[in-house]
Amino acid sequence: MAVPGDGVGGFCKHHAQQGVCDSRAKYREGRRPRAVKVYTVNLESRYLLIQGVPALGVMKELVQQFALYGAIEEYNALDEYPAEQFTEVYLIKFQKLQSARIAKRKMDERSFFGSLLHVCYAPEFETVQETREKLQDRRKYIAKATSNRVLFIAKKIQEPKKTASKNLERCFQPETLGVSAADASTSNWDPSARCPYPYKPSCEFSSRNTACPSGDHFQSAMAFPQYVNNSAETSEYNSQSKPLTNSAQERGRTNSPVSLVLQRKVPSDNGIGRFMPRTTQLQERKRKRDQSNQIAFIGTDSDSSEIIIGPRLPEIPKVDMDDDSLNTSASLIRNKLNKVSVTVPKTSGEKPEDSQTKPPIKQRRRI
Amino acid sequence: MSQKQQDPLDLGRLEYLQALVTEFQVTESLEAKEQVLANLANFAYDPKNYEYLRQLQVLDLFLDMLTEDNETLVEFAVGGLCNLCLDKTNKDYILAADGVAPVINCLSSSNEETVMSAVTTLMYLTMPQSRQQTTALPVVECMLRFSLSANRRLSNLAKVFLEDYCSPEQVEEARNLSKHTAVGIPLPKD
């Protein structure tokens, strides 16, 4: 690099705050104006560089503010870093990458003691080992996310279709309770034997170890004329001959989770407004998801002294959905979950019938 | 990173991605192309989107952009590949589409982000069946030089590559070779 002072502590190109893009087409404008930038695992880091901190001796407050997003391992002022007049530059090292990501997202462009902070990643401060671990963590995350996705889609096929999309969101949570990733990868599923899916009664789903079948999407997506065909003609990237169709023919399966999703669009279209959650509920669930994702991703609970092996199972949130039918559906699912979690350990005398005749205390409604 | 989706948003997402791909194909504005490509590359970070991206053949789009003259397009495309190449299906697809060669070519880019994304992509694409290609002698040689770079990020990545993905014999061979010949892959300048 020809940039003077490059390397540790020097000014790097990726620290510079790029101008916001103002020429985006309307449909792809986000909520906040953003620059045109691609984030990869290389760019992200546990180290955050904070520029624009007013030189008022506010380091303690700054660190306290950032500590809200996760445990901080180290922090220090970077005196040699070029800074605007009356501002300082700080380096904060988080314990976890996820905390750094959230902190950056929340604190970038935030006002702090009257000055706008500019927060960016500072991967050049990493040691070789830290870089190595970062790459490994990304690898593990993808492996886990992909295997969970297989689980999620398999579960989607199993559960009887309800009119509310929220119910599917609830359904997803218990799969971490009762089903292990190993099951999905080693067994062959035949969902049609359990609950025939109302819109696609015969589904064949033989699972693979990691990713979802991709070729089928293309094949079965083509079979859904009004929605996909147009887009298949116009928007699919056509510069090469389609290898996907070949692979789809090879595999010869008919199921596609995407086509299931597409087919479901038609009936739920009318009721969509009814099922849209309020913003607060959405945020609450998002917060809980982030928490459980964090814990699941990391595998140990940093808050308690207890070491948990493997991901902690998220608790089932009980949210009132302001609608009787939704609440009853949710209760039904909760009942089922409790049944599954009760029958799975299968201790001495506990029978499934017991849990049916004597429902868990918290359940009040049954279908 | 959430794996819990609401179905209406899922459909919106597929539509949205389709719209992006369509715009990319149709637009004549270079700026718009760059924006859309960056958008797609960022979507490629989240495994939730992989099915859609495969369905829309965005992987081919990324691979094709690697040979463009425009540095920004290359940077975003290889960044996108770096983001999604860890997924097994995507990995197989890229290898089957002979995607390793254009990624190796990116190592000689003058754009540091491009080079770093390429190094990481090669790491992630290294499997028994692709190892010969991803850790070929010119590549190892290149990594050796990167490991001496003043750019800490690059040298870190190169060191991880050499230590974790190459055998000591490979490194030794490359070291010996570089003593004798002038290497053809220049360091990125920025």
Render pLDDT for A233-256 as a digit per residue (tens, 0 to 9). 444 454 444 444 444 444 444 444
From the candidates B57, B103, B146, which should be mutated to test the interface with A, based on the most A CB atoms within 10 A? B57
Beta carbons of B86 and A138 less than 8 Å apart: yes
Are both B20 and B53 inside the same structural domain?
Answer: yes
Domain count, chain B: 2
pLDDT surpasses 50 at A21: yes
Which residues make Cβ contacts (< 8 Å) with residue B7, sequence separation at least 6? A165, A168, A261, A264, A268
From A125, which residue of chain B is nearest by alpha-carbon distance? B152
Nearest-CA distance A149 → chain B (Å): 7
Beta carbons of B6 and A165 less than 8 Å apart: yes
**DSSP letter string, A42-63:** TT--SEEEEEEEETTT-HHHHH
Q: A139: which 2 tokens? A: 């690898």
User: Does B8 map to a domain?
Assistant: no
Tell whether A354 is within 8 A of chain B (Cβ).
no
Return residues 320-349 of A near B (CB < 8 Å): none
Q: A178: which 2 tokens? A: 């009762």
Return the higher-pLDDT residue of A290 and A44: A44
Are both B176 and B86 inside the same structural domain?
Answer: no
Tell whether B28 is within 8 A of chain A (Cβ).
no
Predicted pLDDT at A17: 75
Taking phi over 0 as left and psi of -120 to 50 as alpha, with beta for the rest, A52 belongs to left
Are both B57 and B115 inside the same structural domain?
Answer: yes
The complex's ipTM works out to 0.87
Are both B77 and B167 inside the same structural domain?
Answer: no
Beta carbons of B22 and A39 less than 8 Å apart: no
Return residues 55-94 of B near A (CB < 8 Å): 55-58, 60-61, 64, 75-76, 79-80, 82-83, 86-90, 93
Residue with structure tokens 């001496």? Answer: B148
Q: What is the pTM of this model?
A: 0.59
Q: Could you tell me the residue range of the domain that residue B162 belongs to?
A: 136-181
Predicted pLDDT at A352: 45
Which tens digits make up the pLDDT trace of A139-150?
999 999 988 767
Beta carbons of B120 and A135 less than 8 Å apart: yes
Q: A185: which 2 tokens? A: 């990868």
Instruction: Give the model's confidence band at B40: pLDDT under 50 very low, under 70 low, under 90 confident, else very high.
Output: very high
User: Does B121 map to a domain?
Assistant: yes
Are both B81 and B105 inside the same structural domain?
Answer: yes
Instruction: Give the model's confidence band at A64: pLDDT under 50 very low, under 70 low, under 90 confident, else very high.
Output: very high
Beta carbons of A211 and B11 less than 8 Å apart: no
User: Does B112 map to a domain?
Assistant: yes
CATH code for the domain in which residue B17 is found: 1.25.10.10
Q: What is the mean pLDDT of residues B62-67?
A: 95
Return the higher-pLDDT residue of A306 and A16: A16
- In this structure, of A108-112, A225-229, A346-350, B33-37, the range with the lowest mean pLDDT score is A225-229
Which tens digits make up the pLDDT trace of A71-87?
999 999 998 888 888 89
Are both B145 and B53 inside the same structural domain?
Answer: no
* CB A119, CB A104: distance < 8 Å: yes
Are both B20 and B107 inside the same structural domain?
Answer: yes
Which tens digits make up the pLDDT trace of B167-190?
999 999 998 887 765 556 667 776
Tell whether B101 is within 8 A of chain A (Cβ).
no
Are both B31 and B95 inside the same structural domain?
Answer: yes
User: Does B158 map to a domain?
Assistant: yes
Tell whether A42 is within 8 A of chain B (Cβ).
yes
Return residues 102-141 of B near A (CB < 8 Å): 112-113, 116-117, 120, 123-124
Residue with structure tokens 């959650």? Answer: A277
- Which of B105, B126, B147 is the last residue before a domain boundary? B126
From B77, which residue of chain A is nearest by alpha-carbon distance? A38
Tell whether B183 is within 8 A of chain A (Cβ).
no
Are both B59 and B109 inside the same structural domain?
Answer: yes
Distance of alpha carbon A26 from alpha carbon A45, whole angstroms: 31
Q: What is the mean pLDDT of residues B58-74?
A: 94
- A322-355: burial string, b at 16+ Cβ within 10 Å, e else: eeeebbebbbbbbbebbbbbbeeeeeeeeeeeeb
pLDDT surpasses 60 at B100: yes
Mean per-residue pLDDT of chain A: 66
- Which of B85, B100, B126 is the last residue before a domain boundary? B126
| Degrees, nearest 5: CA angle B175-B179-B181 | 110
| Closest Cβ opposite residue A42 in set B20, B149, B153 | B153
Tell whether A146 is within 8 A of chain B (Cβ).
yes
Are both B92 and B176 inside the same structural domain?
Answer: no
Q: If you ran DSSP here, which 8-state letter would residue B90 be given? A: H
Q: What is the mean pLDDT of residues B8-34?
A: 85
User: Does B4 map to a domain?
Assistant: no
User: Does B120 map to a domain?
Assistant: yes
CA dihedral B169, B173, B179, B180 (to 10 degrees): 160
